[in-house]
């Protein structure tokens, strides 16, 4: 167990002798209540002084800000640990990931409307990158892709078009006319600012056979899960 720094104990005792409370010392030194108690328990208890409203608010704010900081550190550490655990993907792992990704976000054929076309739409650049890596794995060249930016008219449309062209590594000639959504002043949108670049639709030309392979692969995954579930129940 890590030992407390001597200067913190010394400072805590100085503050206690000046009449500071446990709360104040804890916030000032950014340490735990148990540590403060251990360091100053032999010192006389100061007379309780009534704080002003401003002092109470400042103390509460400092404590809350520290909790938020620690909470954010924990959040980011969890994400970073999970990211490192992934490591390099095998081709099979990328293939299965791509099938699930497409089935969640891509267009699908319906019995009442035959749409055996591979079309993927998303606004998340990382999703688009994973999807393109999956298409590369399937042997779909970029020359077979047709891209369309879909965006609100209030955004920087040329900048969004450049962004998606650079991200996909696709020639601008592969981009069809941008679909612009008219602005409704009554709608309070969250997707605004410099980071808003609309959605990108990626269509694979002459993709009926590829679509059938994707759908078949998806239901192969479903069948495998059902079979495993059945075996676990019997």
Tell me the C-alpha distance between 158 and 162, whole Å: 6
Q: What domain count does the chain have?
A: 2
Residue 82, in any domain of the structure: yes
- Of 66, 86, 106, the position where a domain reaches its end is 86
Whether residue 60 is predicted with pLDDT greater than 80 in this model: the reply is no
The answer to whether 58 and 48 are in contact (CB under 8 A) is no
Give the model confidence (pLDDT) of 31-54 as tens digits.
888 889 899 999 888 766 666 778
Residue 1, in any domain of the structure: no
What backbone torsions phi and psi does residue 179 show, to the nearest 5 degrees? -90, 120
Give the model confidence (pLDDT) of 73-93 as tens digits.
999 999 999 999 999 999 999
Both 80 and 114 in one domain: the answer is no
Least-confidence region, from 34-38, 102-106, 199-203, 207-211: 34-38
- Of 54, 69, 86, the position where a domain reaches its end is 86
Least-confidence region, from 1-5, 212-216, 221-225: 1-5
Host domain of residue 185: 91-233
Tell me the C-alpha distance between 144 and 206, whole Å: 8
Both 102 and 173 in one domain: the answer is yes
pLDDT category of residue 190 using cuts at 50, 70 and 90: low
Q: How many CB atoms lie within 10 A of CB 99?
A: 21
Mean pLDDT estimate for the chain:
87
Q: Report how far apart, in Å, the C-alpha atoms of 126 and of each of 6, 123, 130, 168 are.
A: 47, 9, 6, 11
Coil vs helix vs strand at 39: helix
Both 109 and 224 in one domain: the answer is yes
The total number of residues written for the chain in this structure = 234
């Amino acid at each position: 167990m890590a030992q407390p720094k001597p200067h913190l104990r010394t400072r805590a005792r100085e503050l206690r002798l000046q009449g500071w409370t446990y709360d104040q010392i804890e916030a000032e030194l950014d340490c735990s209540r148990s540590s403060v108690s251990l360091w100053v328990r032999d010192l006389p208890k100061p007379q309780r002084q009534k704080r002003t409203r401003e002092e109470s608010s400042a103390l509460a704010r400092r404590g809350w800000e520290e909790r938020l900081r620690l909470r954010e550190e924990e959040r980011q550490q969890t994400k970073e640990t999970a990211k490192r655990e992934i490591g390099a993907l095998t081709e099979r792992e990328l293939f299965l990931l791509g099938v699930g990704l497409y089935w969640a976000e891509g267009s699908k054929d319906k019995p009442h409307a035959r749409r055996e076309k591979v079309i993927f739409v998303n606004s998340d650049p990382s999703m688009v990158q994973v999807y393109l890596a999956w298409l590369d794995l399937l042997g779909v060249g970029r020359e077979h892709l047709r891209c369309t930016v879909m965006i609100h008219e209030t955004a920087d449309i040329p900048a969004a078009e450049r962004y998606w062209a650079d991200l996909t590594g696709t020639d601008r000639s592969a981009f069809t006319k941008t679909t612009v959504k008219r602005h409704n002043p009554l709608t309070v949108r969250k997707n605004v600012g410099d980071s808003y670049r609309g959605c990108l639709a990626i269509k694979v030309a002459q993709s009926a056979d590829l679509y059938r392979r994707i759908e078949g692969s998806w239901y192969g995954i479903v069948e495998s899960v059902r079979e495993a579930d059945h075996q676990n129940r019997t």
